[in-house]
Amino acid sequence: MALMHAPSLRALGPDGGTPGIQRFHMRRVASGSWMKSGVQMGSAFVMMQHAISTLRKTNRRGDSHRFSITARASAPSFTANDVVVVYDRNSKVAGEVVVAVEKDSAMAPKKVDYAVLPSSDASSLAELARQRGLTEKEMKRLTKTHSASAVLPSGALIQNLELDPWPLLRELRYRTCLEYPKLDEWKEMEEKYFVPLRSMKGPWWKQPEALDLLAKQLDEVGFVIIDDFLPENMARAMKASNMKLYEESEMQEGATTGGSERVGIPHRGDVLKWIGYDGESEASRCVSAFVEHIEQSMLAIGDAASTVAPEVARAVSSVKWRSETMLTCYPGKNRARYFRHTDNSSGNGRLLTALVYLNENWQQGDGGELRLFYPGEKNLKVRMEVEPLWNRLLLFWSDDRSPHEVLSTCKDRFAATVWFYDQTNPTIPLTEVGSISTGSAAAPAPLDDSDTTQKQAPETPAAEVMAKVEETAPGLILFYDGSDAEMVELSESLDATCRRVDLRSGDVEEALGQAGEPWVTMLADGADAVIQEAGPLFLCLPNGEVLKNGQKERWMLE
């Protein structure tokens, strides 16, 4: 298992086009209906015809128009990227929404990805429901008479557009204003940071080259990503605490200064719970170990930075406080998202944001990516879309260097976040960095966190060993061939915090269990079978990964 994976940049958008907000001539009038260019709407039909002809003249897409108010072809006329506007075509107010969208899009500087679907088109609607995972309840809303709604590519709905089309217009404009990096910009980042980091084996935090590169990356692009970040059992314990709070409805809705309904669907759709470090609850013990791990890593990056990126070193050394840990869930059923923001645009003292994602088996298409932008409060150029993968750390500057948003998610999406402060903030419970010491132990891990059911009791001897190992929260283990004097000497030269296990001793079965059942099974053929596979000296990481032939890879021993 590689310790690092370069995150993929999904869906590189088309190049070019200056992002900017188009002037738009529409205002809401007191009556609850709305006016366009100061002219009261005529009949929906006439206005639609007008919209079509205007669009034909001005359409920048150059493709044939996708919306038809008469008979439809059987193939659905929307693509996976389209925002689909579903409306009651017999309703004037609903038709006006379509007109507004067509007009606004015709003026857009870039192609607007949308399609229009009358709610009477049952077969296309069924296809839409299938592709975007819409529920029956959602379908009912879409087919309500006199209504217009929009379905985002993620499946999120924007409803009641007949009362106010602005939430949709804003969403569409926002989408056209996004700018994606050019391929060579992306390649440069990939080659400079992610390729070399991916090629490094072993515990990244022990490798000076990795730390140097991470320090440089934080300096030059403002964020770093480290996969397989926490010891596996710590990540599991964090996920279990997070899920328990969510399932027991112990979480509150995330709030922002922007209000909750800024754009028609909630501005921020997560639920969360803050957990402090008094160690009095399971969750608190868990986050204490978690935050200690993050702090050590952040400080190690800061140390490395002193030669390669002095500004980063200075900044990291100015960190004095940490927030409580925020456990979040973005519920898939609401297609939750969090609109573009920065974590410290108002001088709230935050310097660095550290997040660990806790989502196993995350697939492309599940959504929930963290979209990072280039610096600047108003910059709409996307730097990267980071998938919220299992046990992935994302660290970035909390200020205007890192505007970001959470894209709408289809699956419950879990994360743990802590903010590091270089200035105190009396309105928030802060604790001093370095004030926690939990040793290297993590809270005990549950056996299974993918659902609420518990795993079967272990049946085989190897499984028993595994269960015991999970309970004992293991750290690094160095295995060596005790019959080889050179290996004994080499193993003794190692850091004293690492557990050493002689492959010829009685402890070996239990210790090797950390590496997983195949290794324990191999041991049944004798220590030589294991040595043949992994060499006379090898390291087992807390996540079970085995780094073979340590006698040749000397960095492992440093």
Ligand X SMILES: O=C(O)CCC(=O)C(=O)O
Question: For strand 499-502 and strand 370-373, is the pairing parallel, antiparallel, or unpaired?
Answer: unpaired
| Element counts in the chain: helices (H) and strands (E) | 16, 23
| Distance in Å, CB of 405 to Fe ion, minimum | 8
Minimum distance of Fe ion from residue 8's CB (angstroms): 21
Site string for ligand X, 360-389 (x = CB under 6 A): ----------x-------------------
The correct pick among 104, 162, 343, 412 for binding ligand X (CB under 6 A) is 343
Give 105 or 328: the residue with its C-beta nearer to ligand X: 328
Tokens of residue 523, six digits: 């041991």
Q: Is 355 in the site for ligand X (CB under 6 A)?
A: yes
101 binds ligand X (CB under 6 A): no
Our finding on whether 125 is near ligand X (CB under 6 A) is no
Q: Using the rule CB under 6 A, is 226 a contact of ligand X?
A: no
The residue among 195 and 255 lying less far from ligand X, judged by its C-beta, is: 255
CB of 341 to Fe ion, least distance (A): 6
Phi first, then psi, for residue 348 (nearest 5°) are: -85, 5
Asked if residue 369 binds Fe ion (CB under 5 A), the reply is: no
Q: Does 270 bind Fe ion (CB under 5 A)?
A: no
* CA dihedral over 496, 501, 505, 506, signed as positive or negative: positive
Instruction: For residue 415, state whether it binds ligand X (rule: CB under 6 A).
Output: yes
Indicate which of ligand X, Fe ion, none lies near residue 520 (CB less than 5 to 8 Å, by partner kind): none
- Contact by Cβ (8 Å): 307, 339: no
Question: Which of 162/343 has CB closer to Fe ion?
Answer: 343
Ordered DSSP codes for 131-192: HHT--HHHHHHHT-TT-EEEE-TTS-EE--TTT--HHHHHHHHHHHH-BPPPHHHHHHHIII
CB under 8 Å to 521, separation ≥6 — which residues?
462
- Do 5 and 198 meet the contact criterion of CB atoms below 8 Å apart? yes
Biggest CA-to-CA distance, the chain: 93
Please report whether residue 406 would count as binding ligand X according to CB under 6 A.
yes
CB of 67 to Fe ion, least distance (A): 36
Which of these, 528, 550, 486, lies nearest to 201 by C-alpha position?
550
Return the number of the residue (144 or 340) whose C-beta is nearest ligand X: 340
Task: Give the Cβ contact number of residue 349 at 10 Å.
Answer: 21
Site for Fe ion in 315-354 (CB under 5 A): 343
Considering beta carbons, is residue 111 or 322 the nearer one to ligand X? 322
**Residue 435 C-beta: closest distance to Fe ion, Å:** 25
Give least dist CB 258 to Fe ion, A: 12
Shortest Cβ 258–ligand X spacing (Å): 12
CA–CA separation, 457 vs 464, rounded Å?
Answer: 9
Judged by CB under 6 A, the number of residues near ligand X is 9
The amino acid present at 62, given as its one-letter code, is G
Contact with ligand X (CB under 6 A) among 338, 421, 519, 538: 338
**Does residue number 48 form part of the binding site for ligand X (CB under 6 A)?**
no
- The answer to whether 104 contacts Fe ion (rule: CB under 5 A) is no
Give CA torsion, residues 300, 433, 414, 274, to 10 deg.
Answer: 180
Strands 321-322 and 413-421, sheet pairing: antiparallel
Spell out the residues 6+ positions from residue 136 whose beta carbon is closer than 8 angstroms to its own.
Answer: none
Distance CA(45)–CA(51), nearest Å, equals: 10
Using alpha carbons, list the distances in angstroms from residue 456 to 236, 447, 451, 459, 516: 17, 9, 13, 8, 17
Say whether residue 94 binds ligand X (CB under 6 A).
no
Nearer CB in complex with ligand X: 36/335: 335
Question: In angstroms, what is the minimal distance from the CB of 276 to ligand X?
Answer: 17
The answer to whether 344 touches 399, Cβ cutoff 8 Å, is yes
Q: Which residue's Cβ lies closest to ligand X?
A: 370
State which residue has the least CB distance to Fe ion: 343
Tell whether residue 404 is a contact of ligand X (CB under 6 A): yes
Among ligand X, Fe ion, none, what does residue 547 contact (CB within 5–8 Å per kind)?
A: none
Residue 406 binds which entry of ligand X, Fe ion, none, with Cβ cut-offs from 5 to 8 Å by kind?
Answer: ligand X
Which residues contribute to the site for ligand X (CB under 6 A)? 328, 338, 343, 355, 370, 404, 406, 415, 417
Binding site for Fe ion (CB under 5 A): 343
